[in-house]
């Protein structure tokens, strides 16, 4: 069987790559070391969060599985940043790990074009300078026209726990992938090491909950999926405690036994996801650090100790855990650990996430130096889709930075590169008022529709939703509300009353006044969920215009191409630093060159001159 797209790995990147390639009509194979762990959450049991929640909705809008799987497995939901502007509202859900895996598997198996196989990829079949398939360690050959590599932390993965010898592993208890990493390096693709960590897990039956602060989710409805309204499982609380002076003292005392501080680890780790050792060393003046106890799932009492990621020896981990309020007699079920793994600097990729060195091979997820399930999913979607489109000889999909948070991610990776594990933040986006979680479907539905990624029911749902939103916007502009009806709503929001009938649009510009409340007071039949989008569009109206203008200017620069043959080192009019950076990144347009760090506006201008000279 010749596959169009072969996806190596069944994590969050692999699942989306497989889902989107098969939805695009490609005959797709998902090859994984263990079919049982498709959709496994290796680290914290949560999906979404700041910027990440937006990516989940974007992937969902393209037909991906993450949003639906989260809806089907979530045991707590919160909208983060509710107190800030709607541009940065960020949905996040705690999930039952087992339910999540089951949901992903089920959603993938619903794709008729998708097949599954268990095996460890060991080398590539290469024909005519292109990847043509994969050979497994077990000796099976799978022929494929394109391959998407989504192997996460498995490539030469090594687990560190205290000063014990490192244990080769892709995740606790699972084998690493050694050979395939060598096979990639053999293609002349540079590889580097990163590290990350995970905290211990504990037995909830040994926790004194009376000493903890309970944290419940939001009551209101929310679905990540913009197509389906699935039933959520029973909802559970998280619990909040903290690590204080005693914990810090224990960690200080054993610091030299930490893999991180004892010198066993050389790779760089993420600063926004520090180990507790890091926190103690870098912020000695901090009195305490928060600890979140998050349920692993419905069917188990096991808890995930978020906030205490560590590579200290297991006995030290137990000792400091017992110094945490509420955990005095806790039993640890699994120790935390640090893991080091190979990644391939993503500046070696095209914006389609295809390798420059080996055509037909696409990279997505942690192999590109990112962290996070959502970042992996976003890349998986783009890589899987582009692999399918390449086979079908269709135009590639390269989203722009004003179209999707996912595009900010991919563009940053390919043009800026990474020097620590990359995580998305809203501040990485120039146009964060455009890139919201509430308008993801609106932004990406046209792409999904054009590429044929959605079935008829999904298309119907999407169009109803988008039309409903527009109706809400229209009613807001056309409907006037009487003072008698409006003033109680305004009073409740702490706003001054009106004296004469006023259009809803004018009133909902005021902070704290929602269009939904005004519409329902006027007896409108608009769905409040649809009203929310219109409300946000009205509140941000002037800013949206400015961001779109700025995006247009950016797009103009993106239309000026840079030849692939450009010899940056011979361009004497640009700075040495810019020459180095541009040579490494090989941008394809002036606009992209401008986003490479170290390239100044003056460099950019001289680059434009140099390009035109070459053309003459």
Partner 1 sequence: MLSDPITALATPPGRSALAVVRLSGRGAFEIAARVVPTYTPEPPRTAHLANFVDGDGMLIDRGLYTVFPGPASYSGEDLVEFSCHGGFVVPVRLVSALLAAGARAALPGEFTRRAVLHGRMDLLQAEAVGDLIDATATAQARAALHQLDGGLSRRLTDLRSALLDVEALLGYDIDFPEEDDGPVAPARIAERMTDLQDRVARLLATAPAGERLRAGALVVLAGPPNVGKSSLFNALLGSERAIVTATSGTTRDAIEAATEFLGWPIRLVDTAGLRESEDEAEQLGVGFSRRFVEAAEVVVACEAAGGEAGKRGSYAELESRRGGIVRVIMKADLSPSRLPRVPASGLHTSAFTGEGLDELKASIVRLAFGEQATLADLEPGLTRERHRIALTRAQTALREAMPQLSGRGDAVLAAHHLRDAARALEGLVGVVDVDEVLDRVFRSFCVGK
Q: CB of 89: closest distance to partner 1 in angstroms? A: 10
Q: Which of 263, 446, 511, 563 binds partner 1 (CB under 8 A)?
A: 511
Q: Which of 271, 450, 474, 548 binds partner 1 (CB under 8 A)?
A: 271
For residues 524 to 553, the per-residue mask of contacts with partner 1, x marking binding by CB under 8 A and - elsewhere, is -------------------x-----x---x
The site for partner 1, by CB under 8 A, has a size of: 49
Partner residues linked to 349 by β-bridges: 355
309 touches partner 1 (CB under 8 A)? yes
Which residue in 425, 463, 483, 577 binds partner 1 (CB under 8 A)? 425
Rule CB under 8 A: which of 438-477 touch partner 1?
none
Helices (H), 237-357: 245-253, 276-282, 314-321
Q: How far apart are the first and last CA of the chain?
A: 49
Q: Distances from the Cα of 235 to the Cαs of 30, 40, 73, 219, in angstroms? A: 32, 20, 10, 10
Q: Nearer Cβ to partner 1, position 99 or 238?
A: 238
Q: Give the whole-angstrom CA distance, residue 209 versus residue 443.
A: 44
Asked if 576 is part of the footprint of partner 1 (rule: CB under 8 A), the reply reads no
Task: Note whether 307 binds partner 1 by CB under 8 A.
Answer: yes
Number of H helices, E strands in the chain: 20, 22
CB count, 10 Å around CB of 253? 12
Q: For residue 605, state whether it binds partner 1 (rule: CB under 8 A).
A: yes
What is the four-CA torsion angle of 574, 577, 580, 581, rounded to 10 degrees? Answer: -100
Per CB under 8 A, which of residues 82..121 are in contact with partner 1? 84-85, 87-88
Q: Is 211 near partner 1 (CB under 8 A)?
A: no
Measured CA to CA, the distance from residue 8 to residue 184 in angstroms comes to 13
Residues 435-455: b if buried by 16+ CB within 10 A, e if exposed: bbbbbbbbbbbebbeebebbe
Distance CA 388, CA 396 (A): 9
Binding status of residue 415 toward partner 1 by CB under 8 A: no
Q: Which is nearer to partner 1, 386 or 592 (CB)?
A: 592
Binding residue (CB under 8 A) for partner 1 from 432, 443, 579, 581 = 432
Residue found by looking up tokens 């792409």 in the block = 447
Residue range at the interface with partner 1 (CB under 8 A); choices 77-85, 176-184, 440-448, 563-571: 77-85
Residue 74: phi, psi to the nearest 5?
Answer: -75, 135
Map residue 123 onto helix, strand or coil: strand
The CA R_g of the chain, rounded to the nearest whole Å, is: 25
Residues 342-371 touching partner 1, rule: CB under 8 A, are none
Q: Does 289 bind partner 1 (CB under 8 A)?
A: yes
Q: Report yes or no: 212 and 328 within 8 Å, Cβ to Cβ.
A: no
Q: How far apart are CA 572 and CA 85, in angstroms?
A: 46
Residue with Cβ nearer partner 1 (57 or 289): 289
Among 51, 104, 435, 562, binds partner 1 (CB under 8 A): 51
CA proximity to 152, closest of 341, 19, 16, 18: 341
Q: Of the two residues 109 and 541, which places its CB atom closer to partner 1 in the complex? A: 541
Q: Which residues contact 55 (CB under 8 A, 6 or more apart)?
A: 374, 375, 377, 378, 405, 406, 409, 424
The span from the CA of 188 to the CA of 357, in Å, is 7
290 binding partner 1? (CB under 8 A): yes
Cα–Cα distance, 415 to 353 (Å, whole number): 11
Q: Binding partner 1 by CB under 8 A: which of 121, 433, 462, 526? A: 433
Tell me the window of 254-262, 329-337, 361-369, 594-602 that interacts with partner 1 (CB under 8 A).
594-602
341 C-beta neighbours (distance < 10 Å), count: 29
CA 46, 77, 540 angle in degrees (round to 5)?
105
Q: Is 600 in the site for partner 1 (CB under 8 A)?
A: yes
Report the nearest approach of partner 1 to the CB of residue 484 (Å).
Answer: 25
3-state secondary structure of 543: helix
Q: What mask of x and - would describe binding to partner 1 in positions 224 to 263, judged by CB under 8 A? A: ----------------------------------------
81 binds partner 1 (CB under 8 A): yes
- CB nearer partner 1, residue 191 or residue 288: 288
Residue 27 in the binding site for partner 1 (CB under 8 A): no
Stretch touching partner 1 by CB under 8 A, among 117-125, 174-182, 264-272, 464-472:
264-272
| Residue 230 C-beta: closest distance to partner 1, Å | 27
Binding site for partner 1 (CB under 8 A): 44, 50-51, 80-81, 84-85, 87-88, 270-274, 279, 282-283, 286, 288-290, 292, 306-307, 309, 425-428, 430, 432-433, 511-512, 543, 549, 553, 556, 559-560, 597, 600-601, 605, 608-609, 612-613, 616
């Amino acid at each position: 069987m010749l596959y169009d797209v072969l996806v190596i790995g069944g994590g969050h990147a692999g699942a989306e790559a497989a889902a989107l390639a098969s939805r695009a009509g490609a005959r797709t194979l998902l090859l994984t070391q263990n079919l049982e762990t498709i959709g496994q959450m290796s680290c914290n049991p949560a999906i979404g969060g700041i910027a990440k929640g937006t990516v989940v909705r974007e992937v969902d809008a393209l037909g991906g599985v993450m949003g639906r799987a989260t809806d089907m497995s979530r045991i707590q939901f919160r909208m983060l940043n509710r107190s800030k502007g709607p541009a940065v509202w960020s949905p996040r859900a705690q999930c039952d790990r087992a339910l999540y895996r089951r949901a992903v598997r089920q959603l993938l198996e619903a794709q008729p074009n998708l097949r599954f196989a268990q095996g460890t990829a060991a080398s590539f079949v290469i024909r005519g300078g292109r990847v043509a398939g994969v050979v497994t360690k077990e000796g099976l050959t799978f022929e494929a026209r394109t391959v998407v590599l989504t192997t996460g932390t498995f490539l030469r993965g090594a687990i560190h726990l205290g000063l014990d010898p490192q244990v080769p592993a892709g995740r606790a208890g699972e084998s690493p992938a050694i050979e395939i990493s060598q096979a990639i390096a053999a293609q002349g693709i540079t590889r580097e090491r990163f590290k990350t960590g995970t905290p211990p897990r504990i037995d909830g039956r040994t926790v004194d909950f009376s000493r903890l602060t309970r944290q419940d989710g939001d009551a209101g409805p929310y679905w990540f999926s913009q197509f389906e309204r699935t039933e959520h499982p029973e909802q559970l609380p998280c619990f909040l405690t903290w690590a204080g002076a005693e914990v810090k003292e224990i960690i200080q005392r054993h610091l030299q036994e930490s893999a991180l501080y004892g010198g066993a680890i050389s790779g760089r780790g993420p600063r926004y996801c520090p180990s507790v050792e890091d926190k103690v060393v870098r912020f000695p003046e901090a009195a305490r650090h928060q600890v979140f106890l998050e349920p692993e799932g419905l069917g188990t009492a096991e808890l995930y100790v978020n906030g205490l990621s560590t590579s200290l020896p297991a006995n030290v981990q137990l000792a400091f855990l017992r110094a945490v309020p509420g955990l005095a007699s806790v039993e640890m079920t699994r120790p935390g650990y640090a893991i080091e793994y190979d990644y391939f600097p993503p500046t070696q990729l095209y914006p389609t996430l295809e390798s420059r060195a080996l055509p037909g091979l696409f990279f997505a997820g942690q192999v590109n130096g990112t962290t996070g399930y959502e970042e992996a999913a976003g890349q998986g979607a783009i890589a899987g889709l582009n692999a399918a489109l390449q086979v079908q000889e269709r135009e590639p999909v390269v989203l722009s930075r004003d179209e999707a948070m996912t595009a900010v991610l991919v563009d940053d990776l390919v043009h800026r590169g990474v020097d620590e594990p990359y995580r998305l933040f809203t501040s990485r986006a120039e146009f964060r008022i455009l890139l919201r979680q509430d308008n993801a479907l609106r932004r990406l539905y046209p792409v999904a529709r054009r590429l044929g990624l959605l079935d008829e029911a999904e298309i119907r749902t999407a169009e109803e939703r988008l039309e409903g939103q527009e109706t809400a916007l229209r009613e807001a502009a056309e409907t006037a509300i009487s003072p008698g009806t409006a003033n109680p709503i305004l009073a409740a929001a702490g706003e001054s009353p009106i004296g004469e009938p006023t259009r809803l649009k004018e009133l909902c510009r005021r902070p704290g006044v929602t269009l939904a409340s005004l519409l329902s007071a006027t007896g409108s039949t608009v769905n409040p969920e649809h009203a929310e989008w219109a409300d946000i569009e009205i509140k941000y109206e002037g800013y949206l215009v400015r961001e779109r203008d700025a995006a247009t200017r950016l797009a103009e620069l993106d239309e000026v191409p840079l030849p692939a043959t450009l010899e940056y080192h011979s361009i004497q009019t640009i700075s040495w630093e810019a020459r180095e950076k541009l040579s490494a990144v090989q941008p394809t347009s002036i606009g992209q060159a401008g986003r490479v760090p170290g390239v100044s506006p003056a460099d950019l201008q001289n680059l434009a001159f140099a390009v035109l000279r070459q053309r003459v």
